[in-house]
Structure 1
Amino acid sequence: MLNVNVELKERFYPIHIGEGLLSNPNVYPLKAGDKIMVVTNPTVAKYYLTNLIATLQQIGCIVEQVLLPDGEKYKTIESLNLIFTALLKANYGRDATIIALGGGVIGDVAGFAASTYQRGIRFIQIPTTLLAQVDSSVGGKTAVNHELGKNMIGAFYQPCAVIIDTQTLKTLPKREVNAGLAEVIKYGAILDYSFFEWLEKHIDLLVALDQKHLQQCIAHCCKIKADVVARDETEKNERALLNLGHTFGHAIETHLGYGNWLHGEAVAAGSMMAAVLSKILGDLDDNDVARLEKLLARANLPTYSPDGMQPEDYLPYMMRDKKVLSGQLRLILLKSLGQAYIATETELPLVLEAIRCCTQTD
């Protein structure tokens, strides 16, 4: 088992990474008599809910469950209310703990519920998708979507532990595995050139879910994110770098309708747009852009804008992005592979040109 600590100013919490952790009572920060609400969806429940409940009961916990509909389009206030209703019907108070068993949608909604139920209760993340394991389960971002924008209603609220059982990836559809690799590649592109080079050598093993390299990769990504979160928990500055490709990607997700493109797929295409824009601005060269494109393609990820989505379609969504300040679009761009920065004065015609370069033509 590998361990990474998220060290915050007044507290810390552990991330445990390994095979079979779902069944290991020693990794849960729980005791006999604790009241647990497991939040999951029918797809994940079919594989892992019985196992998790058995482990919690072995500890001596009192366990209830609530199943949310499966999919990004259900990352809504309505799903949030299902959790509140289940907690209230079970007469759970401030001493309760929510466990999020699932991917990024479950983690975000369950975490937001934990942040607001009776003004805040504990929660534990058990991410079952690669994207959630390397990104969304770490750092305390919780949210639901609005029809006008992704993740627009939420809170920064940290879990008390993250438990990553890499065996859960064996039941994950390949498309979801690939989507998670978009966030993995992001870490190398923004902050760690040597990790980018490592990915160029080992991406095929990650696609194939080789356990040794997978756990090594997840731990490294979690360490990068934990270090950034420790320095900038509420995204005042440096943490924004983790959003490479996300401003473009969120526009894709919102325009197409949540769930039509997976989050990681949209981030992959958005990362290419950011790289092309970085080249237009004179920072990256053709070889840098080609290396990123090749790595994303080897992970079976899209590197072009969706068919039928025009460059002009992006701007209304991008200007509602959470990183916009005083009406000024802020983008995460690359000075070089492994070095990102926050661009605050990029001219919109250049942004449109970058999107157009990543738009396929007949």
Structure 2
Amino acid sequence: MTTTRARIATVEVGDAKPYTISIGPGLLDDGAALAATLRGRHVLLISDGNVGPLYADRVTRALRSAKPDLRVDGYVLPAGEASKTLAHFSQAIDALAAIGATRDACIVALGGGVVGDLAGFVAACWMRGIDCVQVPTTLLAMVDSSVGGKTAVDLPQGKNLVGAFHPPRAVIADTEALLTLPPRELRAGLAEVVKYGAIRDAAFLDWIEAHAAALLDGDDDALSEAVARSCRHKAEIVARDPYEHGERALLNFGHTFGHAIEAEQGFGGLNHGEAVAVGMVLAARLSARLGLAPAADAERLAVLLARLQLPVAIPAGLQAGALLERMRLDKKADAAGLRFVLWGGIGEARAVAGVPDEAVLTVLDT
């Protein structure tokens, strides 16, 4: 369910632990809204070296203005996927121990997907689980990683291999934060917005095509609409399948290819959204090769992603065989072999098991 009040849209996520996603301008300074999510007196605000200097003091002031006796401490990661490691997880745990965080403490994850994933995993593990409030500041985090409770860190062998399901207590997405987002990061988030149209809502994909220029320009109304519609789609799926036993896996469209690209580049090449953009094109072309979907739909998807200034081809220097080996460690693989989220065309995602290596290698070599 989605409601709107004074430019603040709310989406209810009705899984085993229901919570609310709030979307709109000015929420980083709304101390009452932020403090309403807290149960205790300890907050560890986890951010990174890019976001922390911009917003950490504002959020801390807002929290203390609403709850003066609150203790707010911080832990700052170096920015980037390379920081989503067990070493930084351990340091964040040490920060909780240093403040004597109790079972009713809360972690506030202020930043993008890296911060949200790591902070959520820390919250899942401290005293077997404390509250985490996701405060995403990137488009990608607003429409994807902050919603649904998937938390994790990376290993050198692959992305998100160590983690837990830990739903947030709330998601608070201040759309004004997108105004300071570097253009590359905005485009990366648009890849995940496109994904929702690609896998389940052809009319939404039509809307994205019609508003591509406004989205690229950072138009507030267009971005707010994109965030709300994307969150509504994810909330509906998460409510039905909170632990990814079925339908939720469809949200990984493009991710098997994308994660392999990220890992093979040592998490220092394409960012997540860019890798997913390439991965979606590859998944769509694999679907066409297997006779599941029209090739024209794959090309329409590639054209839209290119219009949004996202990459649509595998970066130079990556070998098909090496990418295939990375995919064997993907969480969707099982004893029977590789499983992919493919599609039957725009708006019709499906999970497909037993995809032949030869078909995958052919698409990777194209």
TM superposition score category, shorter chain reference: over 0.9
CA contact (8 A) 1:333 1:341 kept: yes
> Does structure 1 residue 48 correspond to structure 2 residue 51?
no
CA–CA separation in structure 2 for the residues paired with 1:215 and 1:27? 19
Q: 2:132 matched to which residue of 1?
A: 123
Deviation at 1:92, TM superposition (A): 1.1
Q: 2:183 matched to which residue of 1?
A: 174
Deviation at 1:68, TM superposition (A): 1.3
Choose which of 254, 258, 272 in structure 1 pairs with 2:281.
272
> Does structure 1 residue 24 correspond to structure 2 residue 30?
yes
CA spacing shift, 1:327–1:282, aligned 2, 3 Å: closer
CA–CA separation in structure 2 for the residues paired with 1:261 and 1:78? 23
Q: 2:11 matched to which residue of 1?
A: 4
Counterpart code for 1:37: L
CA–CA separation in structure 2 for the residues paired with 1:150 and 1:217? 27
Deviation at 1:170, TM superposition (A): 1.1
SS of residue in 1 equivalent to 2:191: helix
CA–CA separation in structure 2 for the residues paired with 1:118 and 1:264? 33
> Does structure 1 residue 148 correspond to structure 2 residue 157?
yes
CA spacing shift, 1:55–1:271, aligned 2, 3 Å: same
CA–CA separation in structure 2 for the residues paired with 1:30 and 1:239? 26
Q: 1:336 matched to which residue of 2?
A: 345
Counterpart code for 2:82: K
CA–CA separation in structure 1 for the residues paired with 2:183 and 2:89? 28
CA contact (8 A) 1:16 1:27 kept: no
Q: 2:41 matched to which residue of 1?
A: 34
> Does structure 1 residue 239 correspond to structure 2 residue 242?
no
Deviation at 1:207, TM superposition (A): 1.1
CA–CA separation in structure 2 for the residues paired with 1:320 and 1:33? 40
Deviation at 1:289, TM superposition (A): 1.6
CA–CA separation in structure 2 for the residues paired with 1:33 and 1:117? 15
Equivalences for residues 1-362 of structure 1 within 5 A: 1-9=8-16, 11-28=17-34, 29-30=36-37, 34-60=41-67, 61-357=70-366
SS of residue in 1 equivalent to 2:162: strand
* Per-residue Cα deviation, 1:29-79 (whole angstroms, up to 9, x for no partner): 246962111000121111101110110101112211111111101100111
CA–CA separation in structure 1 for the residues paired with 2:274 and 2:202? 22
Counterpart code for 2:29: S
CA–CA separation in structure 1 for the residues paired with 2:318 and 2:144? 27
Counterpart code for 1:226: A
CA contact (8 A) 1:68 1:82 kept: no
CA–CA separation in structure 1 for the residues paired with 2:104 and 2:247? 34
Counterpart code for 1:152: L
User: Normalising to structure 1: TM-score of the pair?
Assistant: 0.96
CA spacing shift, 1:31–1:287, aligned 2, 3 Å: closer
CA contact (8 A) 2:38 2:106 kept: no
SS of residue in 2 equivalent to 1:88: helix
CA–CA separation in structure 1 for the residues paired with 2:30 and 2:251? 31
CA–CA separation in structure 2 for the residues paired with 1:175 and 1:93? 39
Deviation at 1:80, TM superposition (A): 0.5
* Per-residue Cα deviation, 1:276-324 (whole angstroms, up to 9, x for no partner): 1111122322321221011100111110011011221211110110011
CA spacing shift, 1:114–1:155, aligned 2, 3 Å: same
Deviation at 1:345, TM superposition (A): 2.1
SS of residue in 2 equivalent to 1:336: coil
SS of residue in 2 equivalent to 1:80: helix
Counterpart code for 1:19: P
* Per-residue Cα deviation, 1:60-113 (whole angstroms, up to 9, x for no partner): 122111111111011001111111111111111111100000000000000000
Counterpart code for 1:21: L
* Per-residue Cα deviation, 1:127-169 (whole angstroms, up to 9, x for no partner): 0111000000000000000000100000000000000001111
Task: Structure 2: state its 5+ residue gaps.
Answer: 1-7
Task: Provide runs of 4+ in structure 1 moved above 3 Å.
Answer: 30-33
SS of residue in 2 equivalent to 1:43: coil
CA contact (8 A) 2:37 2:169 kept: no
Q: CA RMSD in A?
A: 1.2
SS of residue in 1 equivalent to 2:267: coil
Deviation at 1:355, TM superposition (A): 1.5
Counterpart code for 2:107: I
CA spacing shift, 1:30–1:245, aligned 2, 3 Å: closer
